[in-house]
Amino acid sequence: MDIDIIIKNFKKNNIKVTVLEDSHELLCFLKNNMPAHSVVGVGDSVTLETTGVYDFLRRETYTFLDKYDKRLTKEEKRNIYLKNFDADFFLSSVNAISANGCLFNIDGNGSRVAPMLYGPRKVYLIAGTNKVVDDEQSALERMRTIAAPLDNIRCAKNNPCVKAGHCVDCKSKTKICNYFTKIQGQFDENRIELILLKGEYGY
């Protein structure tokens, strides 16, 4: 898929795309674009974990709203989710990117997708080119056959897709697919920015 065409299509939807070569470029980019002492929140992301973004946020001088701190009580974690809305930066990934310039996500409790849509002053959505698909139909398919089942396994949820290997559109109370979101534009062109990493990252 031609990256230049994808960038143009996102531009039509008022969303900037920055293409980076690898995780090293990604960390340099974040360091150059997020001033020291900024307040930074994150959403769950295998991509952010494997590219070293979480560790980078911990070792730099940011006020990192670290939802992974094992000492957090349930209420403290909820407070972190609420603080994300007022953060300077919110970093996460997406589940699928359509070549016509839209971003797709599924979420269980909404704490990951909600700050993408409103609140944080700047949102960097970081994803590998492996998540680019042709259109909306393929994006939904990608989420149901790849992202959601693998995320169920990561979260140790015993939902039907773990055995089946694909989504069976279950009604399980523990399903992680409660919220489907599609970002197809924004008022402020400087808010959500897609960082496209060349290669395969996350799912």
Nearest distance from C-beta of residue 102 to ligand SF4, angstroms: 20
DSSP at 172: -
Q: Which of residues 116-155 bind ligand SF4 (CB under 6 A)?
A: 148-149, 152
> DSSP states of 64-95 as a string?
EE-TT-TT--HHHHHHHHHHHTT-SEEEE--S
Examine residue 96 and tell whether it contacts ligand SF4 (CB under 6 A): no
Establish how many alpha carbons lie within 13 A of residue 19's alpha carbon, considering only the half-sphere containing its beta carbon: 12
Q: Which of 17, 57, 99, 176 binds ligand SF4 (CB under 6 A)?
A: 176
- How many residues touch ligand SF4 under the rule CB under 6 A: the total is 14
Q: How far is the CB of 65 from ligand SF4 (least distance, A)?
A: 27
Note whether 167 binds ligand SF4 by CB under 6 A: yes
Report the greatest alpha carbon distance in the chain.
46
Cβ proximity to ligand SF4: between 119 and 160 the closer is 160
Pick between residue 145 and residue 186 the one whose CB is nearest to ligand SF4.
145
170 is an interface residue for ligand SF4 by CB under 6 A: yes
Closest to ligand SF4 by CB, 66 or 136: 136
Instruction: Name which of 6, 13, 51 is nearest 192 in CA terms.
Output: 13
Residue 188 makes CB contacts below 8 A (sequence gap 6+) with none
Give the type of residue at 28.
C
Shortest Cβ 161–ligand SF4 spacing (Å): 3
Task: Please tell me whether residue 191 binds ligand SF4 under the rule CB under 6 A.
Answer: no
With respect to ligand SF4, which residue has the nearer C-beta, 169 or 200?
169
Residue from 175, 183, 192, 201 in contact with ligand SF4 (CB under 6 A): 175
C-alpha torsion 137→139→140→141, nearest 10: 80
Angstrom CA distances, 189 to 14, 83, 123, 182, 203, stand at 5, 23, 11, 17, 26
Residues within the interface to ligand SF4 (CB under 6 A): 148-149, 152, 159-161, 167-170, 172, 175-177
